[in-house]
Amino acid sequence: KIGDQLTSDMTIDEAVDLIRGKKGTEVKLTILHDKSEETQEIKIIRDKIDIKSVKFDFKEPDIAYIKLTKFGEDTALEFDNAVSRTVSQGSRGIILDLRNNPGGFLDKSVDIASRLIQKGALVVTEEDNTGKKESLYTSGGDKLSSLPIVVLINEGSASASEILAGALRDDRQTILIGKKSFGKGSVQELIDLPGNSSIKITIAKWLTPNGDYIMEKGINPDVEVDLTLDDYNNKRDPQLDKAMEIIKEKIK
């Protein structure tokens, strides 16, 4: 429910209109988690939401933690700031968190791959309905390509984040940790239509450097680790804990 209104027959736009509102006001959501039998009520105070593409931290003085939340216009610039801090701190290892990253601009995933993988490496191949292929390669600026790295993925990692995870796995044999990714292997183009409307058209499929087409099957992690609702509610993160354990082994 949103407030007291059932959402079962709502469109997404109708739901969004109800959830959004004046800054500082409250909205009550009733949600049902997957595989749960009981609903949960959440009260949210409306506010302006400014989501940064890149979140950066040091889990330990020599281990950089970089979380990508999306691949937007400013992602490459924000990531370059994280690169500078990682290098200046003398970090010996990196945890890259792509969990719940729904994707975004394909070219931005290539930009990020160019910072993490040596120049000239294949990132992704696009193939249209005629079989014509176009390959995209890393372009340089690979300041982090020599540092050990592990990557976190889950069911919410989709599209451009899967492109990056697949490239790191295939080009650098990077260990992927977490749960199987979403499985979106299509390239889409947004076309404006009359009446302030638009449509997304699928124009190609994409393949990882090793030629994997991941549509509807996702990318399987090398190390599968669950993160349960109980973990989340008690501020535990066994997936991140496993990533820390593995990256520490790599930098010994």
- Which residues are known catalytic residues? 159, 170, 184
Quote the tokens at residue 151. Answer: 């990557």
Looking at residue 159, the DSSP 8-state letter turns out to be T
Alpha carbons within 13 angstroms on the beta-carbon side of residue 184 total 19
Q: What is the CA radius of gyration of the chain?
A: 20
Looking at residue 92, the DSSP 8-state letter turns out to be S
Judged by DSSP in three states, 28 sits in strand
- State which amino acid sits at residue 61: P
Quote the tokens at residue 76. Answer: 């490459």
All residues at 6 or more sequence positions from 65 whose CB lies less than 8 Å from its CB, including other chains: 56, 57, 58, 59, 94, 95, 97
Residues 82, 55: contact at Cβ < 8 Å? no
Cα 144 from Cα 63, distance rounded (Å): 13
- What DSSP string runs through 56-106? EEEEETTEEEEEE--B-TTHHHHHHHHHHHHHHTT-SEEEEE-TT---B-H
Residue that the structure tokens 């099957």 belong to: 217
